[in-house]
Amino acid sequence: MKRKSLNIQYKEYSNTNDLPEEYKLLAQKAKEAVKTSYSPYSEFAVGAALLLENGEFILGSNQENGAYPSGLCAERVALFCAGTTYPNVPVDAMAIAASYKGVAVAEPIAPCGACRQVMIETQNIGKRPYKVIMIGANKTVVVDNVSFLLPFTFSDISNAVK
Ligand code: THU
């Protein structure tokens, strides 16, 4: 038996104005996307913004449904939109923001497990790591690689049976 450990790195910023210049607009777009959320059931509004390697922005927000499981998280709305609009263009960064009952959340919003699975697939398709910027009113957390959010990733069946 060997004991092993994984180490993840992340950066913490006190607010989005302190982010590197090239990601300030992306953070702003995520906050704007929150306003497009359709979330009458949870009143938890989430916005996701993607910056693609071609310089384009893609936005998504959570879209709920009276049949609860039919709704979709903001992150996957954005990622699937990017896959449809610009297939095979790598993602450079994703920013996520949220509000509850109209008030911006204090702590950074971290993507759910299902979204992380889709995020890693997008990263694999793009063949390069991308940043995830998780925005809260108190602080903003940045990881440089989706893998940091999903260790021991399931990627595809051929990998699993190697
Ligand atoms: N939600 C997202 O859109 N992204 C996340 O990362 C977490 C959760 C949505 C799903 C649902 O519409 C609402 O937030 C409450 O869970």
CATH number at residue 98: 3.40.140.10
**Within a domain: residue 146?**
no
**Within a domain: residue 158?**
no
The residue whose CA has the least distance to atom 5 of ligand 1 is 111
The minimum-distance atom of ligand 1 relative to the CA of 64 is 12
Q: What is the 153 CA–ligand 1 centroid distance (Å)?
A: 21
52 pLDDT band (50/70/90 cuts)? very high
**Whole domain around residue 118: which residue ranges?**
15-64+71-137
Rounded Cα distance, 108 and 124, in Å: 25
Question: Which residue ranges have their beta carbon within 6 Å of ligand 1?
Answer: 39, 42, 44, 46, 62, 64, 71, 73-75, 109, 111-112, 115
pLDDT in tens, 148-159: 999 999 887 777
Number of domains in the chain: 1
**Within a domain: residue 93?**
yes
For residue 162, give Cα distances in angstroms to 11, 156, 159. Answer: 35, 11, 5
**Within a domain: residue 28?**
yes
**Within a domain: residue 154?**
no
Scan for tokens 């260790």, then name that residue.
Answer: 151
pLDDT in tens, 14-31: 999 999 999 999 999 999
* pTM for the whole structure: 0.96
**Within a domain: residue 150?**
no
**Within a domain: residue 142?**
no
Spell out the long-range contacts of 68-72 with Cβ–Cβ below 8 A and sequence spacing 24 or more.
68/41, 71/41
Span 131-157, mean pLDDT?
94
Q: What is the 2 CA–ligand 1 centroid distance (Å)?
A: 38
The minimum-distance atom of ligand 1 relative to the CA of 96 is 6
Contact 110, 70 (CB under 8 A): no
**Within a domain: residue 117?**
yes
